Structure 1
């Protein structure tokens, strides 16, 4: 957890260790997938080697929300992103408000004002595809040129892959759009999760024998419509569940909904914040000729989920899947594969 959290455009006068040599990483970190974890891990490693401080610089809101670069949908709800930022192993977390004025800075201006101005940054760690400045016109070559004249080292990490799968936020979103939650999980290092508050539904599930917790979700990305094996976290408790993402075409539904049938007795969930973790897709959304046909299919879906949890009980699943915890073991196991390059 960071020892110092700064929200603002400047770090002047912040913290008792202000004069420490610093290693800085910069990014939006949408989703905190394995590629992001590699960047953060190497930043911490380099800071320890220097006997200095590791600094993570990120932006709020996401830059694409300000400059209107396409319809970027973010993977994490604000509550999840805040928890993951606060759970990183860096010494300093610096959250910079991203504004139109910041977006209009030339690349050189951005580096002068945000990277080199403090005078304590000794190294910078970024991905090889790092872009910055107005219209994303700055790149790692420009960063390296300006850093070299100031005696600052720049490390560039190639894109991280899990097997043959590139770890990019866009790839995680693509996997989720197709319902491939297992593929998304491999890139994230944990199951994809929706955060939201349980709200009152129409009671249809209860009428046919399968009551559901209806989620008022805050994420911008949903898995493809369908039925999934899920885990619901309410407070410190984890509950096996089977969930539906869709519009309920059998009853003429039009509004997209997320409903979780808990395989247990979680008590009253109404009004409580929960996270819903997607482990496996059972089937696509379907329309049935009657409520009885729908009931029989839900019964079969529940049996499928119970078989899944019979083989893999919730308590036997990795605890770190269900909390914003830094996976240092993964970083150490894959450190040799990262191949960071010091730019000339």
Structure 2
């Protein structure tokens, strides 16, 4: 997948695509439906996504707690996995926030990107003060010779599938239900940093990953997995402030089973599969060690069960 951060002076091969529009936070099943519609509308054209970095909400409300399901690298990987060939990740800054809806369509989509076809959800809004909606987009796209497909919101028995709904599930400690809407486990990606190294003193060395701009999940212990040096590994992780050792900021601490190696400085993606229990403070390191042993056994059993019942990959 090719990634472009500007709509100006694009090479010829970066133009003429079918472009799906939106924030695509999480890249969930609703987003996948938009991308399928993009391919169906113009199977002869490259599939592309136009999105923004940072997320507009981060720009307008920087004081809000982190809420992102996927940061730039994770989002790009998920989109590539769905067959996206071009990603237009445009910088969302003060100048861009004042761009009119007309300029967004005519200057960026039409002249800049040379869009052959546009695809979006029914609630897509754009331009300064969200001045453009799908009715405006339809009229301008037709006038400029661009096709447009508006995709109805995907829903299940509990309602529309949305990034907001998935955020609530993650914050409430339901990673399995979030995964069902995402089409894959929710993950947290970040650099492995140095911690206080207490885990190794009780036989459970951990990889410490700051949550950064990620949404903070329900604090507690999870069964997790990761890929390290191309190999799948299973583990158990705590997300929270580590009250037993007097921690002050939330982070993810993962212990991987049957793994020994130096991960410091590496970018690691940790997938959350099952919520085991809430975070708690223990009276001693001995009590903490005993609980980690119990959590590890539970996590192993759950992850082994998942592996046994996983659908075989299609050839």
Checking the alignment, whether the CA contact within 8 Å between 2:14 and 2:86 is kept in structure 1 is no
The one-character-per-residue Cα deviations of 1:219-266 (angstroms, maximum 9, x if unpaired) are 421211100000022231111101111112123322223111111124
Alpha-carbon distance change, 7 to 88 in structure 1, aligned in 2, over 3 angstroms? farther
Mapped to 2, the partners of 1:209 and 1:192 lie a distance apart of 27
Secondary structure of the corresponding residue to residue 41 of structure 2: helix
Checking the alignment, whether the CA contact within 8 Å between 2:22 and 2:51 is kept in structure 1 is yes
Q: CA RMSD in A?
A: 2.6
Q: Are 1:34 and 2:32 matched, yes or no?
A: no
Instruction: Give the counterpart of 1:276 among 258, 270, 278.
Output: 270
Q: Are 1:287 and 2:284 matched, yes or no?
A: no
Q: Are 1:167 and 2:161 matched, yes or no?
A: yes
Instruction: Give the counterpart of 1:52 among 45, 53, 64.
Output: 45
Instruction: Give the counterpart of 2:11 among 8, 14, 31.
Output: 14
Q: Which runs of 5+ in 2 are unaligned?
A: none
Instruction: Give the counterpart of 2:192 among 198, 208, 230.
Output: 198
Could you tell me how far 1:270 is from its partner in structure 2?
2.6
The one-character-per-residue Cα deviations of 1:125-165 (angstroms, maximum 9, x if unpaired) are 11001000111121111111222334433211111124424
Mapped to 1, the partners of 2:147 and 2:161 lie a distance apart of 25
Mapped to 1, the partners of 2:14 and 2:54 lie a distance apart of 28
Instruction: Give the counterpart of 1:25 among 4, 20, 25.
Output: 20
Checking the alignment, whether the CA contact within 8 Å between 1:56 and 1:92 is kept in structure 2 is yes
Q: Where do 1:88-107 residues align within 5 Å?
A: 88-107=82-101
Instruction: Give the counterpart of 1:67 among 33, 54, 60.
Output: 60
Q: Where do 1:109-188 residues align within 5 Å?
A: 109-117=103-111, 120-188=114-182
Checking the alignment, whether the CA contact within 8 Å between 1:215 and 1:259 is kept in structure 2 is yes
Q: Are 1:231 and 2:225 matched, yes or no?
A: yes
Checking the alignment, whether the CA contact within 8 Å between 1:229 and 1:241 is kept in structure 2 is yes
Secondary structure of the corresponding residue to residue 156 of structure 1: strand
Which residue is 1:333 aligned to? none
Which residue is 1:342 aligned to? none
Checking the alignment, whether the CA contact within 8 Å between 1:24 and 1:125 is kept in structure 2 is yes
Checking the alignment, whether the CA contact within 8 Å between 2:7 and 2:113 is kept in structure 1 is no
Checking the alignment, whether the CA contact within 8 Å between 2:223 and 2:235 is kept in structure 1 is yes
Mapped to 1, the partners of 2:312 and 2:71 lie a distance apart of 21
TM-score, normalising length from structure 2?
Answer: 0.88
Checking the alignment, whether the CA contact within 8 Å between 1:239 and 1:266 is kept in structure 2 is no
Instruction: Give the counterpart of 1:241 among 235, 240, 244.
Output: 235
Q: Where do 1:317-336 residues align within 5 Å?
A: 317=310
Checking the alignment, whether the CA contact within 8 Å between 2:193 and 2:208 is kept in structure 1 is yes
Mapped to 1, the partners of 2:243 and 2:105 lie a distance apart of 52
Mapped to 2, the partners of 1:310 and 1:52 lie a distance apart of 42
Could you tell me how far 1:7 is from its partner in structure 2?
2.5
Mapped to 1, the partners of 2:144 and 2:177 lie a distance apart of 42
Could you tell me how far 1:312 is from its partner in structure 2?
3.0
